[in-house]
Every structure is written in C-alpha cells, then in structure tokens.
Structure 1
Amino acid sequence: MDLSSRGPAGLFLRIIAEPRPLWWRFAFAGTVVAVALVLRLGLLAWMVEFPPYLLQLPAIIVVALVCGAECGLAAIAVLVGVNAALLPEGPDGGVAPSALASLLSFTVNSFAVWAIAGLVRTTLRRLDSAHAALLSAASEQTAVVATLEALLQHAPVGFAFFDAQRRFIRVNEMLARIDGIPAREHAGRSLADMLPQLADAVTPSLERVLATGEVIADVELEGATPAAPGVWRHFLVSYFPVRTSSEAINLVGMIVVEITERKRDEKAIAASEQRYRLLAEALPKMVWTSSPAGTGDYYNHRWAEYTGVEAPPGEVVEWHAFLHPEEKGGVMGAWEASLASGNPFSRECRFRAKDGSYRWFLCRAVPVRDEDGRVDRWYGSCTDISEIVAAREALSRTNEDLERLAAARTMQLAEANTLLKQEMEERLRAESQLRQAQKMEAVGQLTGGIAHDFNNLLTIIIGNIEAAERRVPADPGDTRTQEIKTQEIRRFLDYGRQGALRAAILTQRLLAFSRRQPLDPRPTDVNRLVTGMSHMLRSALGERVMVETVLAGGLWRTEIDHNQLENAILNLAVNARDAMMDGGKLTIETANAYLDEAYCAEHEDLEPGQYVAIFVSDTGMGMSDDVRARAFEPFFTTKGPKDGTGLGLSQVYGFVKQSGGHVMIYSERGDGTTVKLYLPRLEETPSMPEPAPPRTDGETRAAPAVVLMVEDDDQLRTMGAATLREAGHTVIEAEDASAALDALSRGARPDLLFTDVRLGDGMDGRGLADEVKRRLPRTRVLFTTAYARNAVVHQGRLDPGMKLLTKPYSQSELVTKVNGMLDEPALRGAVLLVEDEPFVAMVASQILEDQGFKVTVASHGEAALSHARNAKADIGRDALVLAIVDIGLPDMRGDEVVRRLGEIAPELPVIVATGYATQDISQMFGGRVDVGVISKPYDGATLVAALERLGFRPQGQG
C-alpha cells in the first residue's frame, strides 16, 4: 500500500515509517528546533503575553516522531537549555519563581510528549511493517494459487477431487484425456456413473481415506475407459485427504498415472530375459555374469554339469575356484587388470572337472556399459578347447618334422634332372588315360542309346508275357492233353519272362557303365552297410574264401544309392573269389581319405576333397598290366564265354563315376588285387526322415483314381492302361504332351500324371509335368524312363520330390508304384514363419513340420514380403497356406507386415505372435476371423490350437 496516496497525513506517516540516516535525522531535528526557537523569540517581541513554550512542545513531538527517540532527547536538551538561558530576572535580581516553575513544567511536559511520540512512532513503524508483511503474504499466496492452478491443468498426470459422496468436484485436463470424457462434464457426477469398470476398484480406497485420513500411494489398477472401450489399460493411482482449517476431511484427492506402456515394456523385458536365459542354458558353453567389481551372480547349468558342484540356492561358486593351481595367479592378475581398466578379458586356462581331471578352456568376458560409459555388468563364457590345444601341440611337433624334411629335401635338388624325366613319363601316362576315358565315354553313349529302345521292347515283352500268364486258365480241366498243353504254355511263358529279365539286367549293367542309370542316393553309413552284407558275402563266396572286415572308427557318411553300392561290393567280391581258385582271403576295409590336387590332376573328373574309401583286396592271382588297363571296358573278360559277360567291373566303374567318386585297381601278377572305391563325403545337414519302405503286392490296394498316362509307344501305353484299369483306376491315354493338355482343357482332372520323359518332338515329360502342376497343383507326378540322361535327373540323381519308375518294369511294379503314390498323404502346404529370434524360429519350425507343413523362415519383414511375392508369382512352388508373424521385428512392426501380406495374398490366414497383451493386438485387426493372436512364449499345444481355430486340423485327425 502506498501511504503517499492518502494525502498530507499519509505523506507524514510515510516520513515517520521510512528509515532515515542519522545525519538526516539530526539535520531535520536541528531545523525544527531552530524554527521553534526563532518563533519563540519573535513572538516574545510581538506578543508579550504569548506562552513561551507553546510551539516547542509540538517541535519535540515532530522531532521524536520523525527522527526517533535519540533526536527527541537531544531536542529537549537544547530547548531546555536555551529556555533556561532566556528566563527573565525577578525583582530581587534572581530568576523569577514563576518562570522557573514554567520551565520545570515545560521540561516535564517535554519528556511526556517525547515518550508519547516515541510510542506512536514505534506503533506506526510496526503497523507499517505488518502491513508490508500482509501485502507480501497476499502476493505470495496469489502466486502459489496461480502455480497450483497451472500445475493442476498442465501436469503430466491426472488429478481428481471427490466429495464425501464420492462425486467428482474437479478434474484436470490430463484425467479427462485418460478417461475420454470432457473435464466440465465430471462435476457433480458419481464415479460409478463415469467409470463403471473402475468404480469397484477405486471406491474402497476413497472410503478408506475419508474414514482414516491416511495417504494411499501407488495402487495399480487395470480396466477399460470410455476413451478406448474394450482396450485393457493399466494405471498407478494414489489417494490423499484434503483438510479444512479445522483439520476435518472434506475432500479426497486422486492422482492417476497411466502405465500401460510401462507394463508392456516390463512384460517384454521379462519375456526377453526369459528368452536369453533359456538361450544361455541351451548353449554348449559355460556362461556366467558378474557385477562391475567381478563378483559372479549367474552361472548356467553347464558349470554344475562339468564341475559337479551345485551352489546353495541364492549363492554362486565363482569360476576361478576351479582354476588349475599353476595358472590361478596369472589368470586372476589378468582378470583384475580387466576389472580395473574395463578392457575385455580373454585367457586360456585349465578348469577342474568333477572327476578331478583338468581340461583347457578359452575364458572370455566383455563389459557392458551404461549411458555414462561406466561398466554396468560383465558377461563371460568358457569354451572347451582341449582338442584345439592338443591339435596345436601336434601341429607344433609336425612343424618341427617339416623343417627336418625341408632340410632333407634341399639335399635332393641335385636329382632335378631325374625328376623332370619322371614328369615326362607321367604326362605320357596321363595322355594314355585320357584316350582311355574318351574311348569309355564313346562306348557309354552307344550303350545308353541302345538301352532306351531296348528297354521299351523288354517292357512290352515282359508285360505281354505276364498278361498271357494271367489268361491261362487256373483249372486245366479234365483231359490229360489240355493239362499237358497248359503246363507247356506256362513253362514257355516262364522261359520267355526269364530271358526278358536277363536282358533287362544286361541293360541295367550297360546303363551303369555308361552312367545313365537313375540312382536313389541317400545318406549312408558305409560301415553299417558292409556289416549288413557279411552274411550275404559268406554265402556267395563259399567256405574256401575267408572274409575279413576292417572298419574305421569315426567314418564319415556318404550320399549313395544303397542297392547299387551293395551290388558293386558284391561284384568285386565275386570277381575276387574267381581269382582265388584254391581259396584265399578277401579283405574289405573302410577309411576316411583326402585326395589332394596333385592326385586329382592325374585322373579324369575328380575334385580334390574328402572321400569315404572302400578297399576290396584279395590274395588271388592278380592282373597283368594289359589286363588291368582294360579291366573297366565293357564286354572285356578273361573268363570263358560261358563264365561272364564282361560287364561286372564296367558296371562298378560307371556307378562310382556317376556318384561323383573314383575307382582304381592296384594289382600285380601273382600278388593279388586291390580295388579302391572313393565316394564323396556327405556334408552333414539336419537329417531328413527315411522314406517309407515300399509295400508288398498285398498292400497295394488304393482307392480308385483318375490317371493320365502319357506314352509315345502305342503298345506300351495300351498295355499299361489296361493294367491300371484292372487295378480299378480310370485311365486317360495320351500319346504326347499336346494330347495330354487337350484332355485337361476338355475338363479332365487327373489325380496322378504318369508320363515318359522322352515324348518325341515337342514338349518333354518334365515340361508337361510343370504345366499340369500349374493348372492342378495337387496332382501327383510319376515319371518313367529307360535311362538317366534327361530333364528329370541330373548326373543320375533324382531331383527332390520326384518319383521315377525305371524301364523295363513289370505290370505289378507299375500298379504298386501308382497305388503307393496315391496312398501318400499330400503335403499340407508351405508356412511363412516371420521371426527374428533364432531359438524361437527353431522351436516353431519343428512344431509346424511335425504338423506336416513345409516351413520357410524370414528374420525381417522385407524378406518375408519378398518371399510372399515370389511364391505368388512362381506357381511351381508349394502353395503358401499360412503366415506366422512376430509383432516385433528389426525393420518394421509385425502389424505392418500383416497388412502388406494382405495386399499380396488377400486370402492368406495369419497368426500374430506377441509379447504384449493379446487384447491390444486383436484390436489392431478389427476382429478379422482370418487373423489369430497367440502370446509369447508359446508351446506346441498353443500353436496347434491357433492352427485349429484357423481351420487347420491337427495332424492325424480327419
């Protein structure tokens, strides 16, 4: 308040209240006293009867009020002194008693008014100070109210105030946004009316605060609000009382913070921690973590498995407790240095196993830093490197040996001329081998060409003989003549069939030599195969030949045709028996082998690398150089005309070469023979299930089906169609691809396409199969061919997913093959699994494959979309029937992937896997029936249930 605005009195009060410096006060007091004295002297001269002290008492009051008590006392002293000096003399020459009494009265009155003025001054100054304090308090209160109002309206949390009837009094804008109702509509309405889904959870806390006055903090609630009906949200709520001046509770305040995202993050973090803990437990390494100071706080179960020490619950046994005593000092010094510097730790050391032995480990640890760059945690692993250390020591010893060999080699430089001569001789031998290989290739082409037409003829012969046999009456009748005739017909037909079968075997041998026979290669354990042949070999070789097997430990596997390899070994064993006329010993040995570049350069079509070796040795008469050079030629034999065809070794040669391997003969006259087979090592991949064994004739009854038979040989086609019709099938005949496609255009819908690969001019069998699959993706395809150089097989190997019936075939084989294919369950289709966690993808893939699906895994959204586009464009692929998409991917959100998949394949059903609340994810897709949602982590039962909801019945159900 401005006192000067109240006029002269206010100005005077302001002069009194304001503090003044001492010099100013004495100057003002002196001026006032001087004015009072001058007026007194002047009035005495003008008005004889004027009281001398009339104006001095007001001067004292003014000085005391304005200048303070000190100045007032000084003014009294001055005025009393001057008045005493001016006292008039009495008649007797002294001071008149009346004047002295008047001075005394003036002095007493001066002190009285001085005291009154001092009291008034003090009171006025206190009143002014109190007034200023009131003004400051009012200003501060206004500022506080404004601040609280701004905080209430703009706070990042929701505020609400309730009366005793639990009705809203006031809410801020944040709470209005949380519940989706304007703030002005809350006043006077009850909690049950505004938020029915949360009222039951909030009301007990409001009543408790009203009753007890306590503060209830951090209560978690969950439910839906009008802002997002149906969406489950999470809130952190606190309650506090609002009291009146009498300490009575008239209101309850509520603070609301939405923590939906935080709960989702906590759930995601928990799921992530669980995933990585599972991964750490699944690793074959010993994994551990420690604090920044190096104190361990987690060890996976591999430690307990290796050390045999189980720590008590809540405790750990530090990794360095198992160090070898000789290395403990150095290792711990390096570990403490890493802890001090924050640099990664790496050290090779030995750890004690539960049996007391020590093994070498590579122990590593890396620091993880926080935002400020400080080490927050250490992550460590210990990898068993005992074999590497042993190999390293062996290599060190080998290097020493090599140095000695190099020194010895240096001494052999003088023999360079001799070595050059040997190289010339080797070149001549290589040229001879090349000419021999060219000759063998030419013969192979000839036999392959003959075999095709020959096999067609043999098939016709065998089939007609079988048909004739079926038409001979089973009951010969009553007459003896008819019985004899029937028996003769059967005997002649049997001879004809045996001859045709022998011709077929001869053809297969020709094809084997020429590397044209279709093969069915599978991963093979050669040791097991040789062991399984032991009984058959002893039966075939007789008692005079002793059979010995030397099988290598840790033998690699090879991918080979089981039957053909058995035939090759049996062929070599029989040849060895014939070479040991007086008996002897046959040795079959297996080994791992590496053929280097120098060796492979000397032989045709041989790549350096790792091979599985099979050595077949005998103690027979051996071969001369001339015989050994021609041993693999077809029809070459040293036996008599009735003792062999000369195709045994050529068949072995062709089979091994066709399989990508190599065969060599080592023999000298009188010293026996060794035949070495080298088969390529199989690079191991996840094992595939073994194919089901072929069914016997009695099991080949299949449901009637429609078969499209395409064969350019009229007789063979007619015979095969008749056989399949007898088996109960409907057969559509076509002489070439054009006729077959015309049948499809006229509405034919075959269950199986049976086609020769070679169909003359125009489209071949493979092209026809692709076109049929494009039009009818579920149609099965069975090829037939006489030999393997065609579009179905590559270097004698069937493409994955192809079925082949090799010519010549019997009619029973045809029926068995067709019925077997029709009985096979069709593949349920392909699934696109979009998952960036390898461990989760591995588990989910196994579940889906067990349910009969073919699985393609994509770790990024773009990769998944690219695969879907390619699958849509390539009709030859397995049909894409389902997608399973993780909601959190590295490059885009899973819901965006689902949306874009819908644009590529609108009818494709989708399962969304999420670590968040499934209600929120379901809300994203608007209740689409072709979208299912499952929570992570999930197990097989959860995934199968989701498949069933989308219409995919579990495997094994109808």
Structure 2
Amino acid sequence: MVILSSGEVIDKSAAAHPVDFAAVFQAAPVGLAILNPDLRYVYCNDLLAEINGLPARDHLGRTVAEMVPNIARDVEKPFRSVFETGQPIFELRISGSTPKSPGIERSWLESVQPLRSGDGAVQHILVSVQEITALERAEVALRESERILRASQQLSPDSFTVLRAIRDTSGNCVDFVWEYANPSAQATLNAGPLVGKRLLEVLPGNRDHPDLFPRYVRTLAASGPEEVELRYDEDGISGWFRNCAVAIDSDRLAVSFQDISLRKRAEEQLALVTAEFRHRVKNTLAVVHGLVAQTARYAADVPSMERGLRYRLQALGAAQDLLGDDPQPADVHLDHVVHAALGPFEGKKLRCILNADARIGSGAVVSLTLPLNELATNAIKYGALSSDGGAAEIRSELNAGRVRLSWREFGGPATVVPKRKGFGSRLIDEVARLLPAGRVMKDFSPQGLRVVIEFDSTTEPPPDVQALPSPPEHP
C-alpha cells in the first residue's frame, strides 16, 4: 500500500484491478484519518470531518492539536506509541469537546492501526473514530438504574431473587441456582447466603409443589409473569406466600415472594366475622318475629299489643347493646344484664340488690334479659308496681358457681294464680331450658309474686339460647 502526499491511497499489488480507496474510506460507517509521524492529517473522510465540525480539506497538513485541541493531549501519546512500537491500539476511549460543539462533553471509541512502508517501518497510522456519546450516556443511565434497583431491592420488605436454570445433557431444566437474593429473601428462607446455592438442595420441598419448581420451569418458556398465592409447609418454613415469577431470558428467572400469612389470617377472621354477623342478624330477626307474633297472639287489643311489644323490643335492644359490635363477644357481667332489663323501671319502687360477681355467656344475654323485663312489665300491669303502696326487688347471689336471682313483690294487690299462661309467663318458664342448668321456681303468694331463677355461671349456654317459646297448640 502506498500513500501519496495528496492523500490518495493505492495498492500496487492490485494494479490489475485498481480499487478506489478514497471512495471506500468515504463510505465507511466510522470516521477515518491517516496521520504522519508529526501527527498531521494526510487524509480525513467526511464523517470524521463532521465529528470534528470542520471541513475535511481543512484537516490536511494540519496537526491533531490544531484541529481538536481539547482532546489532543489524550490522543497524542497513544498515537505516537503506535509509531514507536508498531503495535495497534484497540478500543481507546476518548472524551472531550470538538469545534462542532464547544464546551459539550462527548465520547468516542478509537482504534489505531500502523501503516507500514515497503521496508516494514511505520510510515503512517490509520485512526478510526466512532462516536459513543449516546451509548455511554445509556450505560451511565443503566448503571444508575441498576444501582437504584439494587438499593431498592436491598431495602425492600418483599423477597426478590434471580434464578438460573441448570440443565441436563438433554437440555431439560433439573434445578436452579441463585444468582441474586436480597436480604429479605435470605431472612425469609433462613438459609444464609443463597448466591451460588442450588434451589432444590436448599428447598427440596419445592420439587413436588405444583406452584413452585414445576411452575418455574414452565415460566421459563412463558411470555409474561405468573403470580400465585400458595401455602408452604416444608423445609422449616410454614405460611402463606404470594409468589410471582417472570422469565428474564430462556435460562434465567426473576422471582419475588412475600409472606402474606397475616393477611390470610385476617381474611379468615373477616369471613368468620361476616358469618357470625349474618347468624346474629338472622337470630335477631327471628326473635323479633317471635315477639311480634306471640305478643299479637296474647294481646287483648291493639294498645295492649303496642305496649307489650314496645317493652319487649326495648329489652331486646338493651341486650344487643350489651353484646356490642364484637362478632364473638365475651361473657357479660350479670349486673349489666339485670340493669339492661330493668333499667326503665328502677327507682324507689323497684330495687336491685346485686351481690353476685358472676358472668354469663354472651349467647344467654337475650334469654335472661327478656324474662326479667317481663317480670317488671307484669308487675306494672297487674302486680305490686301497679299500686301506690307496692314495691318490688330483685336480688342476686352466687354460691359455688351457681347464680340465684330472686324476684319479690310486696305491698300490692293480692296475687292471683293466672287462669291461662300468656306469652310473658311462658318466656319466664323457658329460662330453665335456655340457661345452663337452669331452673325456675314461682310462688303466687297472696302477699306478692316470688320468682327464683337459678343457673350456672361457668357453663356455656346451649346453642339455641335465643330461641323463643313455641305457641301452644290450643291458646
């Protein structure tokens, strides 16, 4: 190859088939320059001229320092070393600015090849220049993105891992090896550092779980993420997990997982709460229906029905207030039940003397509230509280877990044994069945009605404690 002072390049060995090297250089996808030992331009193609921001003809005969002074100090030494050693340079990264965009930092990737004369001496060098400013900016952005992603994964409460497939000689995936695992993943799996370890050696229970290893293998060939919620009780791990897997490429998998056991327990509790509320509403509606039907059945007229129903619904409301909003309320103190049932009547004529520090099951609250309210209502209508000189009292006692409620009326009209048993009387009698180990004793003494209700305070009531007495076959 011979390089003329004009910059024309010819190859004597190709004389029979001349090649227009100038056209080849102009068509090259990179900037090209030929420099002499003084680092003066002998040739410059149009692409390099565009990179430098000066016409190609202005380069000829001038030095690199004259044309691109801001980058000359970085290229002169490596360029001269090629003249001295004859060794090419590949991938020389240079940054700086050129007259095309003064003050704007740009980057190039250069390579330098020696061009030898017939005696083998390096007579010129061929410099190729490719602008990589956009590429470097993309690499910087990528590194920053990776740094942010890694930092976020390090701090994330969710577990995140990258798995690489291990294949047998037939290309089948037989296991995975961890390439990355954030601290949360290591803490959740409780297996120490995971990078470099094999999945099925650390977690052998994954092999046969349909939503783990078999699914990971399928996901390698899938086009999108697969997310499942699964229960895992193997390898010293127990709980519910949300697991999402997506293929990075044909051999790598990104897997994130989160312990959702608390959420699952909350969902189960919510389902229980919902079922209990439905049950309670159904029971309450049944009680109201029974109260209306039975009150209407035994009422002499509409006003008496209205009064009786109002008192009973008030007592039912008071009982429900005691139960509160808790779908599984705790046991209720006996004093609260008595005051809820008799509160509207308490005063000088009705005294509550409560000495039993006892509790009753929440299911028995309505069963006891309604009969106590009925006693006070009947006393106002027919008994001691219907006269100016009459009075009534209720006492509570507790002995060896046995509650005794004693209702006594005095000073009123003479008590008469009723000829027929009304709904209120039947409510009182039903307490014996509805309270745990319940018993009811009534004494229609002429001096005043006496009723004793006994039951266990420590035994859970039977399941149908809120049932109302059925109407008699013959009213």
SS of residue paired to 2:17: helix
Please name the residue that 1:365 is paired with: 245
Evaluate the alpha carbon distance shift between residue 627 and residue 180 of structure 1 in structure 2; reply closer, same or farther with a 3 A threshold.
farther
More helix per residue: 1
Distance 1:287 1:326, change over 3 A: closer
Counterpart of 1:286, as a letter, is S
- Cα deviations by residue, 1:95-136 (Å, 9 ceiling, x for unpaired): xxxxxxxxxxxxxxxxxxxxxxxxxxxxxxxxxxxxxxxxx9
The correspondence of residues 409-448 of structure 1 with structure 2, limited to 5 A, is 418-419=291-292
Q: Distance between the aligned counterparts of 1:163 and 1:301, measured in 2?
A: 58
For residues 425 and 169 of structure 1, what CA distance do their matches in structure 2 show?
117
Equivalent position amino acid for 2:106 in 1: R
Match of 1:251 among 115, 118, 124: 124
* 1:380 to 2:260 alignment: no
The answer to whether residue 100 in structure 2 is matched with residue 227 in structure 1 is yes
Alignment partner of 1:193: what SS? helix
Measure the CA separation in 1 of the matches of 2:229 and 2:204: 12
Q: Which residue of 2 aligns with 1:200?
A: 73
| Number of equivalenced pairs | 310
Cα distance change of structure 1 residues 397 and 248 upon mapping to structure 2, 3 Å threshold: same
Residue matched to 1:140: 17
For the pair 1:303 / 2:178, whether they are aligned, the reply is no
Which residue matches 1:184? 57
What is the SS of the residue equivalent to 1:151?
helix
Q: How do 1:542-941 and structure 2 match up within 5 A?
A: 593=325, 625-626=343-344
Counterparts of 1:241 and 1:396 in 2: how far apart (Å)?
A: 81
Q: Deviations over 1:807-848 (max 9, x none)?
A: xxxxxxxxxxxxxxxxxxxxxxxxxxxxxxxxxxxxxxxxxx
Contact 2:178 2:196 in 1 (8 A): no
Change (3 A) 1:625 1:310: closer
Q: Kindly provide the amino acid, as one letter, of the partner of residue 129 in structure 2.
A: V
Q: How far did 1:254 drift?
A: 0.7
Residue 326 of structure 1 deviates from its aligned partner by 9.4
Secondary structure in structure 2 of the residue aligned to 1:256: strand
The residue identity in structure 2 corresponding to 1:359 is G
Q: How far does residue 251 in structure 1 lie from its aligned partner after superposition?
A: 0.8
Q: Report if the CA contact (8 A) 1:620-1:671 is conserved.
A: no
Q: Secondary structure at the match of 1:199?
A: helix
Give the Cα–Cα distance (whole angstroms) in 2 for the partners of residues 366 and 216 of structure 1.
42
> How far off its partner does 1:429 sit?
6.1
Contact 1:169 1:188 in 2 (8 A): yes
Q: What do residues 497-550 of structure 1 show as CA deviations (whole Å, max 9, x unaligned)?
A: xxxxxxxxxxxxxxxxxxxxxxxxxxxxxxxxxxxxxxxxxxxxxxxxxxxxxx
Q: Relative to 1, partners in 2 of residues 1:399 and 1:299: Cα closer, same or farther, differing over 3 Å?
A: same
Q: CA RMSD in A?
A: 5.1
Identify the residue that residue 278 of structure 1 maps to in structure 2: 151
CA contact (8 A) 2:220 2:252 kept: no
Q: 1:139 to 1:326 in 2, by over 3 A?
A: closer
For the structure 1 residues 344 and 619, does the alpha-carbon distance in structure 2 shift closer, same or farther, using more than 3 Å as the test?
Answer: closer
1:336 aligned residue: 217
- For 1:207-227, what per-residue CA distance to the aligned partner results, in whole angstroms no more than 9, with x for missing partners? 111112111010111112121
CA contact (8 A) 1:311 1:317 kept: no
Q: 1:399: how far off?
A: 9.9
SS at match of 1:291: strand
Q: Could you tell me how far apart the structure 1 residues matched to 2:99 and 2:288 are?
A: 99
Counterpart residue type for residue 258 of structure 2: T
**Residue among 287, 297, 322 paired with 2:203:** 322
> Relative to structure 1, is the Cα distance of residues 626 and 379 closer, same or farther in structure 2, using a 3 angstrom cutoff?
same
Within 1, Cα distance between the matches of 2:324 and 2:69?
78
> One-letter code of the match for 1:305?
A
Query: How far, CA to CA, are the matches of 1:341 and 1:358 in structure 2?
Result: 28
Deviation at 1:397, TM superposition (A): 8.2
Tell me the residue number matched to 2:37: 164
Which of residues 329, 345, 348 in structure 1 aligns to 2:230? 348
Give the gaps of 5 or more residues in structure 2.
1-12, 166-172, 297-304, 315-322, 347-371, 374-392, 397-475
- How far does residue 379 in structure 1 lie from its aligned partner after superposition? 1.9
SS in 1 for 2:242: strand
Indicate conservation of the 8 Å contact 2:211/2:230, yes or no. no
2: CA distance between counterparts of 1:201 and 1:422? Answer: 106
Q: Distance in 1 between matches of 2:179 and 2:207?
A: 26
For 1:325 and 1:620, the matched residues in 2 are separated by 56
User: 2:73 corresponds to which letter in structure 1?
Assistant: D
Counterpart AA for 2:32: F
The CA distance in 1 between the partners of 2:269 and 2:136, in whole Å, is: 57
Separation (CA, whole Å) in 2 of partners of 1:170 and 1:343: 53
Query: Does the 8 A contact of 2:232 with 2:241 survive in 1?
Result: yes
TM-superposed CA distance for 1:417, in Å, is: 6.6
Q: Could you tell which deviates more after superposition, 244-253 or 214-223?
A: 244-253
- Tell me the equivalent position of 1:677: none
Equivalent in the alignment of 1:461: none
Residue type of the alignment partner of 2:17: E
Counterpart in 2 of 1:809?
none
Separation (CA, whole Å) in 2 of partners of 1:237 and 1:592: 81
